[in-house]
Structure 1
């Protein structure tokens, strides 16, 4: 195999002269800017060729080249060995389990006089470096998918108002085959971001081993080279598909060169070729993008001679993981504290948890259909999500026996507290408790009313309570409005102290025993 020469002939002459003058190999390497091992290698070649300083007059550069490296007479770019199909080898290298050693062994079986292993690897790597930036990194089939949002947007016209709203462009590129998926979403928020991933997996028909996103906040809460903090919902989506998340390093564009090149290429196919079209809905826009992506994926890649779709079918489809039976469903996570009525509030509706968790903090997973409640990692409650109807969703298993198996808060305590203000206030609190299917569901309303009365003159509070009972206003916001408007009739026109009266919502003292 011809030797690889790292020094010019002028440098080789200078090397021989310095060596003749007694300069060490380390110092010669420092002067020439190369490693000492390179100097020693060339000195061994010179000794083997019988070359010493001073060189004979007939030792031209061509003669020295021939004696030292055996390359004289070979035209630039010309090789003596049989050349394999480098493009085909580059494609084969992307198959799982295929290495350069295997490809070289197969090459030498077909061409026994071909390149040695090291030269073969150098030439194959050189071919890969000459490919487009999308192909520079060596990606194994089924290993990674690179995802990101394009910095450019596409306009969509509101057919009713004519207003143009710009949509984001999501782009994903498979590492080995470069098969590209793109779609438009209204925002880069978590629901749109994860939804685009679900549709991407469906398009590929499988999932690779790793997701490589940019450090978008919807995917990565905290960017870090050593320990990136993945968004909880994004991590749950990845776990559903048994796929890991490996964010690109901050400010390291080479980590995401695949998707960056894919984004640029997709932009030309989407924004460039669709610029003359007007879209009136997101669905219409995505239909056009899907057609553009189909044409792009079926277009042959110049260096490899096959299209992205063909390469995907050949080497990557079989390497992808199978998708789960059901698509992942977007879920919102939030923290909540259990109220005194053993309910938590989610989007203006109340859902029960076991009464033993009163005042505890819980994690809530909110989907379009379900409300799941977790405490210290264990699920303690699940409810069908409410959009209409009764405000409370109460699981009977969450209630305390007889509704009063805890001592801190009871209907009697609220009535005693209210009686310190006056009989009308006590009647109002009793009416609030009686108006609920379960008295505990009225605890928070009672707390709100009594809190509003703090610092208010008792006579004024009694007047407002009497007026509220007349109107049937049994909510804290109604009491707040009565206090703010300074409306309400006196408790008794003759100045006598009013007494608690019968009311349709009162169940009587026997209800609480």
Structure 2
């Protein structure tokens, strides 16, 4: 099945169209067929939205407006080209024959080419003599990025261990103005951080970032249509530019940055060869000094330095930087539990979502400070990230009515609820809760006493509570028994012992106890 354009790809097309690119140029920049670009541009114009309005729409809305389109014109031809990539690696292996691979190819695909066409396409693709092309680079159009093949190193102050570090190189090809930075790895976080530092070094943003097929950039490499990972697409969207990975095994696509790497060996690596650094900050500080000298060197034929060319020509073509720094996003999937929370495994915490999404599969977008929950490209919850393991982070608006009521339970909540039915009911509830060291265990008992008004009425409940207090027998079961046996209505029981009249009549001849000693 052909790949489809996701909403981030659509926004990259719109960005380039706004920058004045033709459909053909957009297709060449993004590695998408021109016909696909044409069809999407027609859809954009017929949608009733302007390009600016389309860019403001969220991914969920864009996905609904513009359904999936194929990004490959000729599936049969592309299958053949992809197969050629695999067999060309084995070209020099002993016993290699084209007939063997053609047989394998014809068994794999539904509609294979004939053997003659198979060989014709192969020789067209891999001609014995290849020429090179002088590429012209527009000012402010691209920023080439790459990692140097050779590493620098720092020394751990405590253990004395030598730690190898990666070296990131970025360059604007029109002026060849270069940025170099050391980082701990080629991982996505370090790579995006280096790209962002490069943009701030230049003081502006090019229309496209051209990278190699690095794992930190590409999730699936391809000579024709590489898939850029979501984090790097999001980074590019934040800075209003697009990402364009080069073709696999085609270093000539970014020959200038490859050359810049070799020049970095000469101008930066070599002067650092006898220096020892104990931190990445110290190493980058020295790299910055050497880089300044490198960018100020005059070109032999241009009679200007990289810095001068950048300031006089290229800088004005760069887009303005975003007002905020980019915060890298990570992505996870999580199912909404029956209690209305998703489990966030990196911190082992729980975050609430609206109860109507219980049982749904969601996608988590999270940064160092925030956790966002998305369902079908639509954000349904956002929380401040908590590092407390096992914590339940709750937004009360997400709870159902019954859950909201439960979350409000407290001693004062039950006192207020009981007071509606009478002062003796409130006094009983207060005694029930106060009698326990852990008040929460008495909440259900207190609620049980209050709910008795539904069967017996508030007046009878208040009388029953009065009798329970007088008898010092305050509990849910005893109050229930009083009501069941109608003891709350017995006038004999409600009289105090001191108020009862004596059954012996008063008489002057009655002798007292002293007469019987």
Q: Which TM-score band applies after superposition, normalised by the shorter structure?
A: 0.5 to 0.7
CA distance in structure 1 between the partners assigned to 2:149 and 2:389 by the alignment: 43
Structure 1 residue 224 displacement after superposition = 2.1
Alignment partner, residue 441 of structure 2: 506
CA distance in structure 2 between the partners assigned to 1:341 and 1:264 by the alignment: 58
Alignment partner, residue 202 of structure 1: 200
Alignment partner, residue 497 of structure 2: none
**1:135 and 1:326, CA in 2 relative to 1: closer, same or farther beyond 3 A?**
farther
Structure 1 residue 226 displacement after superposition = 3.1
Report the TM-score when normalising by structure 2: 0.53
Please state if 1:241 is matched with 2:239: yes
* SS at structure 2 position matched to 1:183: strand
**1:404 and 1:386, CA in 2 relative to 1: closer, same or farther beyond 3 A?**
closer
Q: Assess if the C-alpha contact under 8 Å between 1:177 and 1:312 holds in 2.
A: yes
Post-superposition Cα deviations, 1:275-308, rounded to whole Å, max 9, x if no partner, equal 1111111111111111111111001112222110
CA distance in structure 2 between the partners assigned to 1:335 and 1:270 by the alignment: 43
Q: Assess if the C-alpha contact under 8 Å between 2:177 and 2:295 holds in 1.
A: yes
CA distance in structure 2 between the partners assigned to 1:301 and 1:342 by the alignment: 64
**1:389 and 1:363, CA in 2 relative to 1: closer, same or farther beyond 3 A?**
closer
Q: Assess if the C-alpha contact under 8 Å between 2:332 and 2:364 holds in 1.
A: yes
Range 171-180 or range 369-378, more displaced:
369-378
CA distance in structure 2 between the partners assigned to 1:216 and 1:371 by the alignment: 27
CA distance in structure 1 between the partners assigned to 2:209 and 2:269 by the alignment: 25
CA distance in structure 1 between the partners assigned to 2:299 and 2:135 by the alignment: 16
Q: Assess if the C-alpha contact under 8 Å between 2:349 and 2:388 holds in 1.
A: no
Post-superposition Cα deviations, 1:86-123, rounded to whole Å, max 9, x if no partner, equal xxxxxxxxxx99xxxxxxxxxxxxxxxxxxxxxxxxxx
Post-superposition Cα deviations, 1:6-54, rounded to whole Å, max 9, x if no partner, equal xxxxxxxxxxxxxxxxxxxxxxxxxxxxxxxxxxxxxxxxxxxxxxxxx
2:326 to 316, 324, 328: 328
1:284 to 271, 282, 285: 282
Structure 1 residue 200 displacement after superposition = 0.6
Q: Assess if the C-alpha contact under 8 Å between 2:224 and 2:247 holds in 1.
A: no
CA distance in structure 1 between the partners assigned to 2:133 and 2:316 by the alignment: 20
CA distance in structure 2 between the partners assigned to 1:176 and 1:215 by the alignment: 22
CA distance in structure 2 between the partners assigned to 1:404 and 1:187 by the alignment: 47
CA distance in structure 2 between the partners assigned to 1:316 and 1:509 by the alignment: 76
- Alpha-carbon RMSD across the aligned residues, in angstroms, is 2.7
Alignment partner, residue 138 of structure 1: 136
CA distance in structure 1 between the partners assigned to 2:284 and 2:141 by the alignment: 27
Structure 1 residue 345 displacement after superposition = 2.0
CA distance in structure 1 between the partners assigned to 2:437 and 2:339 by the alignment: 24
Q: Assess if the C-alpha contact under 8 Å between 2:205 and 2:241 holds in 1.
A: yes
Q: Assess if the C-alpha contact under 8 Å between 1:135 and 1:258 holds in 2.
A: no
Alignment partner, residue 263 of structure 2: 265
Q: Assess if the C-alpha contact under 8 Å between 2:396 and 2:404 holds in 1.
A: no
* SS at structure 2 position matched to 1:250: coil
Alignment partner, residue 190 of structure 2: 192
Post-superposition Cα deviations, 1:354-394, rounded to whole Å, max 9, x if no partner, equal 11111211111111111111111111111111124871110
CA distance in structure 2 between the partners assigned to 1:400 and 1:225 by the alignment: 51
Q: How many residues align?
A: 290
* SS at structure 2 position matched to 1:165: strand
* SS at structure 2 position matched to 1:151: coil
Structure 1 residue 314 displacement after superposition = 1.2
2:295 to 271, 274, 297: 297
Structure 1 residue 509 displacement after superposition = 5.3
* SS at structure 1 position matched to 2:222: coil
CA distance in structure 2 between the partners assigned to 1:395 and 1:374 by the alignment: 16
Q: Assess if the C-alpha contact under 8 Å between 2:348 and 2:389 holds in 1.
A: no
Equivalences for 1:99-110 in 2 at 5 Å? none
2:305 to 304, 307, 310: 307
Range 396-405 or range 275-284, more displaced:
396-405
CA distance in structure 2 between the partners assigned to 1:198 and 1:317 by the alignment: 17
* SS at structure 1 position matched to 2:146: strand
Range 328-337 or range 197-206, more displaced:
328-337
Structure 1 residue 510 displacement after superposition = 5.5
* SS at structure 1 position matched to 2:189: helix
CA distance in structure 2 between the partners assigned to 1:400 and 1:192 by the alignment: 42
Alignment partner, residue 403 of structure 1: 403
**1:141 and 1:190, CA in 2 relative to 1: closer, same or farther beyond 3 A?**
same
Structure 1 residue 228 displacement after superposition = 1.7
Range 285-294 or range 382-391, more displaced:
382-391
Alignment partner, residue 365 of structure 2: 365
Consecutive unaligned residues in structure 1, runs of 5 or more: 1-95, 98-133, 411-433, 436-501
Alignment partner, residue 177 of structure 1: 175
Structure 1 residue 344 displacement after superposition = 1.4
Alignment partner, residue 31 of structure 1: none
2:152 to 154, 158, 161: 154
* SS at structure 2 position matched to 1:273: helix
Report the TM-score when normalising by structure 1: 0.53
CA distance in structure 2 between the partners assigned to 1:368 and 1:231 by the alignment: 19
Structure 1 residue 136 displacement after superposition = 4.5
